[in-house]
Amino acid sequence: MNFEAALKAGWGFVDKDVKENEVYAYQISVYDTPKVNSSSYMIGLRDYSTLPAPTDFISVPDDKQVMLSWDYETFKHIYTSYIVEKSSDGVNFESISNTPLVNLNDKDDHPSKRMYYVDTLNVNDKMYHYKLYGITSPAGLSVC
């Protein structure tokens, strides 16, 4: 889920020679593998838009923990995972997990509307600030 790794693996490409009012056609194929069909895509800079921020991010405090929840259904076709960051001063944020958070409860016969995460706290009665980012594959990051 890292674009730099995707570039090194040959799964990513950055075209550094594009002009604002032009449209480009890209064709992607697997080298020396005729059984895999190639794919084409047309895009230009005018097609660029920032990723939407995840919505309805709420917290429910409890004894030495807080349940975080956000709208999953709206963006499940955009984001593959999420990063939640926490701060005790509102300035310095750190991720609350070593890996991105994924929704393992979303099933075809019972789709998830929300995503949940329970964060443990050292003490009660202390203010914490949280940021939520959606991640696209391979590692596009939303605004929080």
DSSP 8-state class, residue 54: P
Please answer whether residues 54 and 117 qualify as being in contact, where contact means their C-beta atoms are separated by less than 8 angstroms. Answer: no
Instruction: Count the Cβ atoms, other than its own, within 10 Å of residue 133.
Output: 19
pLDDT tens sequence across 20-37: 899 999 998 888 887 888
Q: Is the pLDDT of residue 136 over 80?
A: yes
Instruction: Please tell me the predicted confidence (pLDDT) of residue 22.
Output: 92
Rounded average pLDDT over 52-72: 96
pTM over 0.95: no
- AA identity, residue 86: K
Query: What does the domain layout of the chain look like in residue ranges?
Result: 3-47, 58-139
118: closest CA among 143, 101, 99?
A: 101
Q: How far apart are CA 35 and CA 50, in angstroms?
A: 35
51 DSSP assignment = P
pLDDT tens column, 9-19: 888 888 999 99
Level-2 CATH architecture, domain 58-139: Sandwich (2.60)
Pairing of strands 81-87, 65-71: unpaired
Per-residue pLDDT band at 67 (split at 50, 70, 90): very high
> Is the pLDDT assigned to residue 140 strictly greater than 70?
no
